Structure 1
Amino acid sequence: MKTAAHAAAAIEVLAEMASARRPASDALKNWGTAHRFAGSRDRAGIASLVYDALRHRASIAWRMGDDSPRALVLGALAFVRGKNAEYMAAAIADSPHAPEPLTEAEQHAFIHGTLDGAPEWVRGDYPEWLDSHFARVFGEERGAELSAMAERAPLDLRVNVLKADREQALKALDHLGASETPISPLGIRINLLDDGRGPPVQSEPAFLKGLVEVQDEGSQLAAMIAAAAPGEQVIDLCAGAGGKTLALSGGMNNRGQLFAYDRDIRRLAPLHERAERAGVRNLQVRSPRGQQDVMADLVGKADLVLVDAPCTGTGTWRRNPDAKWRLRPGSIEVRQNEQDAALADAARLVKPGGRLAYITCSLLPEENDDRLASFRTTHPEFTTLPAQEAAITAGLPALAAYANADGSGLVLTPKRTGTDGFFVGLMRKAG
């Protein structure tokens, strides 16, 4: 299949998403099932074009003067991939499976479409209703900050210090164009393929032997700022599949005791195999058991409790651009309630003098600054650990520049740190 055929297929996928209200992944799967003749490379090319259109949906629609599936796909080719009107006209003429020929209006948009006069939500490619929320965090820079969130995410790995150092891992992955990440001393960045996918690193010997784990650099940094130390009692309270759990274990050098819990037992399932591959020996996985409080024996005993809270995921839009257009205002309140509950649950586990690390992959202040402020009101025994000092103590002084307005947390973004979006705040319980 050629460019024009990919475009026609991408238009079909976006049309199904709109009419059936399907997530992009489901619509792409349905298209593949109905078109089994398409090979894996063609399916990947179509998916890449769909996601480019979704990443830049608002700015494409502004330039094209139209937000139809056809306009979004053709606009992605023009404004994201740099294909001009002549190229597209020739590609359409050369393919039996192409969209209809370009209209005069489309050709005009290709040549003259600009973002002159566009509001910040268009420049940043995010839903208009979120504009006031992002203005609280980024002010006049919100368009530029969120525009960076519309770019493709890199493929990052974390070196597992229990089995290797970064030099060894880089050597093992040199054939993939591996390089050091800019900030994390444990990070490795892998070149993406031409279609935007990463190479199959999970099949690499370095991965199978546990030398590396797939983990965005921002997630690595968040775990480092929490600063789990050898010999401590540490709880990862919203562990999920265990990405940060494994990072914490590395920082502890397998000494002390690490507990992983998640209220959804299904999310914990991959952690067992991942921990074995990584050589983690100080981990206990606590799975939920009906109404039983499986953490009761740890109340008041933890040196560090990490809350990687459920959130809207606005910081992960580079990897899941469909999510930003599916997010609804009511989702924020739902997540706030879950975050407050997780923080309250964590508070009881922290021992006097212990620390609580609050992390989200969201950039919305309602899920970050506001949650910590609300928590400190109801739990006055906890005080903020200044974010700038936390960054320096963790050996990451470059991050000190990205503290939020009141110094209660660090805000990582693609524009600032080249990572996914994260918020990291630390508190200490009175001794």
Structure 2
Amino acid sequence: MTPAARLSAAIDIIETIEADRAPAAKALKDWGTSHRFAGSGDRAAIAGLVWDVLRRRASSAWVMEDDSARARVLGMLKLERGLDVPTIGAMCDGSRFAPPPLTDQEEKALASRTTEGAPSPVAGDYPDWLDPYLAAVFGDDRVAEAMAMASRAPLDLRVNTLKAKREKVQASLKHLGAVPTPWSPIGLRITLGADARNPGIHAEEDFIKGAIEVQDEGSQLAALFTAAKPGEQVIDLCAGAGGKTLALAAMMGGKGRLIATDDDKRQLAPIHERLSRAGVHNADVRSPKGDADPLADIRASADLVVIDAPCTGTGTWRRNPDAKWRMRPGALEIRLKDQAEVLDRAAGLVKPGGRIAYITCSVLQPENGDQVRGFVARHPEFSIQPPDQTATVLWDKAEAFAEAALKSDEGWLMTPRRTGTDGFFVSVLKKA
């Protein structure tokens, strides 16, 4: 397919998403199914265009003074891809499979309009109702922070120290351009271009042998900040597919007791195969069965309970730009209730002197600092561990990290703009 034909396909898919209110991933899959002539490179390039339009949905419509699918695609080419009017016009020449030629109004908008003077939600490309929440955290920097959250994310890998060393894995993944992550001592990063296909990590020998896992650097740091140690009893209370569980197991060096559970047993389905591949032998996966508590035998005995809390996922917008436009205010209220419940549950599992590591992939204060303060008010036997103490696991990078991340009395907030990671909040609470 020509670049012009890919552009036409992207416009069609955006129209489908808007008209049917369909998730972008489903719309892309349906298009691929009905256009089997398109090769993998074409599908990757078209998906890149669609995701970039969703990243710049509001700002591109503002620039074009038009919220149609075509206008958003054209505006995205200017704002996200940095293309000039002649280049955009060359792809819209009206030839076979190409979009119709630019109108005079479109040419004028592309040449002259910017997001200067646009409202913050437009310039930052996020829903209007979230503006007070982002302002409460970032103030006048919220547009810059939101723009970074709308950028394309790299592919981060965590080296499984149970099986490999970072230097050796980096050498074997040299052909993918893997480089060390800026903060995590166990991370590698692969930067992807706008039209690039995701590399076939799952086909790499290092992945097959369990030496690497796909995990954002912010998630790696969140696991490191828990300070899980060999010989401890550690509970991953919201284990899901096991990303944090695997990281904790490596930190424990195969020594101690690691229990992974989740309220949704469907989320736990991949964890067994992942643990086996990673060479983890000290993990006990407990799936819920009916109304029975899978942790009924544990009472105030855990050294560490890790809560990778259910949240709005605002910190992961750069990986799933569709999610921010589909999010509704009611979702936040549901998540706040879920978070309070799981925190209260964790309180009864921790032994005296033990700790809870509360983690979200959200940047919203109600899910982060407010939630932690509410927990401490309900459970005065817990106190917040000073954030500077948790960052000492980064050794020589702790001071630089403290300057980059946003520190509060309750914990650390990482963001794409500040730390180059997904948005993550981490708070460590110690029981007296």
TM bucket (normalised to shorter chain) is over 0.9
Give the Cα separation in 2 of the matches to 1:114 and 1:409: 37
User: How do residues 210-359 of structure 1 correspond to structure 2 at under 5 angstroms?
Assistant: 210-359=210-359
Shift of 1:110: 1.1
Aligned to 2:429: 427
Contact kept, 8 Å, 1:158 with 1:220, in 2: the verdict is: yes
Aligned to 1:410: 412
1:18 maps to 18
Task: Give the equivalent residue in structure 2 for 1:151.
Answer: 151
Structure 2 SS opposite 1:93 = coil
1:193·1:199 contact (CA, 8 Å) conserved in 2? Answer: no
What's the CA shift for 1:194? Answer: 5.2
Amino acid at match of 1:323: A
Q: Distance in 1 between matches of 2:406 and 2:90?
A: 50
Task: Work out the CA distance in 2 between the residues paired with 1:345 and 1:274.
Answer: 26
Match of 2:50 in 1: 50
Q: Deviations over 1:45-84 (max 9, x none)?
A: 1111000011011221121111211111111122221222
List alignment gaps of at least 5 residues for structure 2. none
Contact 2:94 2:100 in 1 (8 A): no
Distance in 2 between the 1:76 and 1:204 partners? 34
CA distances 1:345-367 after superposition (whole Å, capped 9, x unpaired): 11111111100000000001111
What is the number of equivalent residue pairs in this alignment? 430
The residue type paired with residue 326 of structure 1 is R
1:30: which partner in 2? 30
2:87 corresponding residue in structure 1: 87
Does structure 1 residue 67 correspond to structure 2 residue 67?
A: yes
2-structure distance, mates of 1:227, 1:347: 18
Distance in 2 (CA, whole Å) between partners of 1:419 and 1:197 is: 20
AA in 2 matched with 1:213: E
For the residue of structure 1 that corresponds to 2:336, the secondary structure is helix
Q: Does the Cα contact within 8 Å between 1:388 and 1:399 map onto a contact in 2? A: no
State the Cα deviation string for residues 384-416 of structure 1 (Å, max 9, x = none).
101122112553513333665642110000011
| 1:133–1:364 CA contact under 8 A, matched in 2 | yes
- SS of 1:312's equivalent in the other structure is coil
Q: Which runs of 4+ in 1 moved over 3 A?
A: 393-396, 401-406
For residues 138 and 283 of structure 1, the distance between their equivalents in structure 2, rounded to whole angstroms, comes to 39
The answer to whether residue 82 in structure 2 is matched with residue 97 in structure 1 is: no
How much has 1:379 moved relative to structure 2?
1.0
Deviation at 1:158, TM superposition (A): 0.5
The alignment's TM-score, normalised by the length of structure 1, stands at 0.97
Aligned residues: CA RMSD = 1.4
2:17 & 2:393 partners in 1: Cα distance?
47
Name the CA distance, whole Å, in 1 between partners of 2:233 and 2:148.
38
* 2:163 maps to amino acid: K
Give me the whole-angstrom Cα distance separating, in 2, the residues matched to 1:406 and 1:93.
53
Which whole-Å CA distance do the structure 2 matches of 1:233 and 1:406 have between them?
28
Q: Tell me the distance in 2 between the aligned counterparts of 1:393 and 1:34.
A: 50
Task: Give 1:117-156 correspondences, 5 Å limit.
Answer: 117-156=117-156
1:257, 1:97 → 2: CA distance? 60
Q: Any idea what SS the aligned residue of 1:255 has?
A: coil
Q: Post-superposition shift, 1:377?
A: 1.2
Distance, in Å, in 2 between the alignment partners of 1:205 and 1:409 is 38
Higher mean Cα deviation, 349-358 or 194-203? Answer: 194-203
| Equivalent-residue separation in structure 2 for 1:84 and 1:401 (angstroms) | 37
Which residue in 1 is equivalent to 2:363?
Answer: 363
User: Deviations for 1:15-51, whole angstroms, at most 9, x for unmatched residues?
Assistant: 1111111110111112122222222211111111000
Q: Distance between the aligned counterparts of 1:211 and 1:59, measured in 2?
A: 41
Q: Which residue of 2 aligns with 1:387?
A: 387
Contact preservation (8 Å) 2:305, 2:350: yes
Q: Tell me the distance in 2 between the aligned counterparts of 1:405 and 1:415.
A: 14
Q: Displacement, 1:296?
A: 1.2
Give the deviation of 1:119 after TM superposition.
Answer: 2.3
Aligned counterparts of 1:32 and 1:374: Cα–Cα separation in 2: 47
Alpha-carbon contact 2:94-2:101 (below 8 Å) kept:
no
SS in 2 for 1:230: coil
SS of residue paired to 2:297: helix
Distance 1:190 1:42 in 2: 21
In 1, distance between residues paired with 2:168 and 2:416?
27
Q: What is the identity percentage for the equivalent residue pairs of Structure 1 and Structure 2?
A: 57
SS at match of 2:355: strand
> 1:26 is aligned with what amino acid?
K
Letter in 1 for 2:43: R
Letter in 2 for 1:155: L
2:347 alignment partner AA = A
Normalised TM-score (structure 2): 0.97
Mean alpha-carbon deviation: is it higher for 73-82 or for 269-278?
A: 73-82
Hey, what's the Cα distance between the residues in 2 that align with 1:424 and 1:399? 14
Cα contact 2:265–2:287 (8 A) shared by 1: yes
Q: What do residues 164-200 of structure 1 show as CA deviations (whole Å, max 9, x unaligned)?
A: 1111111111111111000100000113255143211
